[in-house]
């Protein structure tokens, strides 16, 4: 089946710094990828839809200047958390569709100190 | 808008017990319905799906039937194993696979030997 990877799997950073998370479709191309945020004991919240070659579409309430998304190629989307603060600590998950199914990455645990 | 409601966990069972995790949804039109499973430390994996009313999705001994009259998609398994311990998410999409997913909050299942 299709495989989606994320890097890094875990990152700890200081408040005020920026962190980049990569999402790659390893064996298929994805013109669209999705970024989710998962809170403890909460569901996945869709943050944005990443579109190859064009701007990302952000969900209501998600700050586009804080969560920068770049879909640089048909296999790579990046999420950059700018000027991170402790409240940005969370589990970030990406997904990409292939043949009518969504494939999820393993997630990235971000901890902001 | 779309929403998914699933029973709160954790659900604690002994091995070989019968499992039911309830899921109901609110959506316009005819959504596709999914169950995803997240094992500890891993990303989400599609467990099963149903794309139209009265369809039954099944995989690895798990089953769920798309009930339009009750707007439900309850997950069942006749005999759970310790290895089934995970978090289970019910989800829907307006279209099959390519549109965004709306998730329930997840139900943790703990199976003891």
A44-103 pLDDT per residue, tens: 899 999 999 889 999 999 999 999 999 989 999 999 999 999 999 999 999 998 887 889
Whether the CB of A93 is below 8 Å from some CB of chain B: the reply is yes
Kindly determine whether residue A41 and residue B105, on different chains, have CB atoms separated by under 8 Å. Answer: yes
For residue A39, give Cα distances in angstroms to A36, A43, A48, B100, B106: 10, 7, 16, 18, 11
* Interface-testing mutation among A4, A48, A100, with chain B (most B C-beta atoms within 10 A): A100
Question: Chain B contact for A35, CB < 8 A?
Answer: no
Question: Would you state the pLDDT for residue B98?
Answer: 54
Average pLDDT, chain B: 92
Whether residue B96 has pLDDT greater than 60: no
Task: Tell me if A93 and B44 make a contact (CB, 8 A cut-off).
Answer: yes
CA distance B47 to B37: 6
CA distance A42 to chain B (A): 5
Task: Answer whether residue B110 shows pLDDT above 80.
Answer: yes
Tell me the average pLDDT across A9-35.
95
CA B44 – CA A106 distance, rounded (Å): 7
3-state secondary structure of B59: strand
Q: Find the helix or strand (DSSP H, E) in which B43 lies.
A: none
* CA dihedral sign of residues B36, B26, A90, A94: positive
Please state the rounded mean pLDDT for residues A10-28: 96
Highest averaged pLDDT of the listed ranges A40-54, A96-110, B27-41, B54-68: B54-68
Picking from B46, B100, B106, the nearest residue to A101 by CB comes out as: B46
Q: Which residues contact A63 (CB under 8 A, 6 or more apart)?
A: none
Give the one of B43, B96, B98 whose C-beta lies nearest to A93's C-beta: B43
């Amino acid at each position: 089946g299709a495989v989606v990877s994320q890097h890094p799997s875990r990152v700890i950073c200081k408040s005020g710094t920026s962190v980049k998370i990569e999402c790659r479709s390893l064996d298929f191309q994805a013109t669209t990828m999705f970024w989710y945020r998962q809170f403890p004991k909460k569901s996945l919240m869709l943050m944005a839809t990443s579109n190859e070659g064009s701007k990302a579409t952000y969900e209501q309430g998600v700050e586009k200047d804080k969560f920068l998304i770049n879909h640089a190629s048909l296999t790579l989307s990046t999420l950059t958390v700018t000027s991170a603060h402790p409240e940005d600590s969370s589990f970030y998950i990406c997904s990409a569709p292939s043949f009518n199914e969504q494939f999820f990455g393993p997630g990235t645990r971000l901890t902001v100190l | 808008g779309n929403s998914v409601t699933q029973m709160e966990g954790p659900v604690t069972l002994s091995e070989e017990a019968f499992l039911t995790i309830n899921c109901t949804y609110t959506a316009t039109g005819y959504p596709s319905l999914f169950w995803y499973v997240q094992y500890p430390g891993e990303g989400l994996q599609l467990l099963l799906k149903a794309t139209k009313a009265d369809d039954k999705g099944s995989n690895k001994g798990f089953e769920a039937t798309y009930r339009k009259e009750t707007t439900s998609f309850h997950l069942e398994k006749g005999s759970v194993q310790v290895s089934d311990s995970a978090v289970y998410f019910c989800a829907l999409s307006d279209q099959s696979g390519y549109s965004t997913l709306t998730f329930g909050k997840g139900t943790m299942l703990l199976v003891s030997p």
